[in-house]
Structure 1
Amino acid sequence: MSTIESDGAIDENEANLCQSMPDKSQKSGPWTKHDKEARRNEVYRLHFDYDFSARRISDLMKVNRNTVNRDLRFWYSEILDSSRILEPELIVEVNLERLKIQYARLRESLDKTDSEEIKNKIERLMLDVVSKINYTVQRRAESHVRIKNMVVEDINKWMEENRKDTRYMTLFDKFKLSSNARKKIEKIMEDDAKKGDPDFN
């Protein structure tokens, strides 16, 4: 995992972001369970909400850089696990996470205002975020299909080079054919399934 490193001094506004964090800079020994959870949550917020790098977060929180990197690996793993996708592309998952955070913040702002003008502006922003989420999900699905097809192509190439009789097809293949041709294909597949795989029997 790589993060964009920012150079330059930390200003007073950024330093104030971490005032709720337990101060471990002057303490030794392991983190308590409560402090570890608070630290991880703060790392999550600063990285995904503010797009801060590991170095910046380490400086802000006065926490060892390796600890911050471990926390980031933990959160990236959590995001990937919750996505339930076989080969997720990390940048897509991170962008989705940030869009969801932005939407939640806009939803909270909408509930707090009584101004119709501000409500209309917030609702337009929310619609824009939803559109971005839908677009990102669509691209993720397209990427998933592309990867699946590449894998099947590589397997079939290997089967051909090694003179194997078996070939693989994906569920994403789409062909235009007559109903009679489809029935014949289904019958062939059914007969093949009954025989078993000649290359692996």
Structure 2
Amino acid sequence: MTAAAAPARTLADLGPVAQLRAGRLGRRLPQLVVGLVLYGVSLALMVRGNVGLAPWDVLHSGLIEHLPITLGQAVVLMSFVVLLLWIPLKEQPGIGTIANALLVGLSADATLWLIDEPHALAARVAFMLGGVLLCGIASGLYIGAQLGRGPRDGLMTGLHRRTGRSLRLVRTLLEVAVVLVGLTLGGVLGAGTVVYALAIGPLTQLFLPWCLVDIEIPERSVPS
């Protein structure tokens, strides 16, 4: 017989169709959008703080030194480049994956248009710290919506599955690699990069339980 769907208070590894069938879309879709928009805002705050960017944003800031595009457009461009790397890793994108690739960059550009870099060092540090904190909240929101991993997160989990290496090691190696490439291109590295690297994991872990949406996961059919 087929068992009824079981409520799950945990992160589920679902394909795109199962994500949509898991229920509570009226809560999950707005939460996803809010999380991704806030993620873009957090990126822009760190840019305006000008005391160091998150590792991937070091790469994005390096790209715009050589291409006639904005920072947000660089985020979108690299998101789709990274998604091409999902193909050999056989990762499954979801609504959240595509939304992540588009909304974060658009939100970052809109925020950069609205706010200027403050002159006082204390204000710039506050922008950076606020950006890191907001990024932790935003990560909890969009991950907790359970509508698919972002492009960069999927690259990390895909490499983890394929290589058998720990997520911590894979993430560290990826972020070191993108920082080195970003620096080669002229990207921005600073104290904020270190603060982000040390704080984003604990912050996401802190906020995720508050943001994680219960979803219904249909159990596999079993013989009666």
TM-score w.r.t. structure 1 length? 0.27
Larger RCO (CA within 8 A; separation ≥ 6): 2
TM-score w.r.t. structure 2 length? 0.25
Larger gyration radius, structure 1 or structure 2: 1
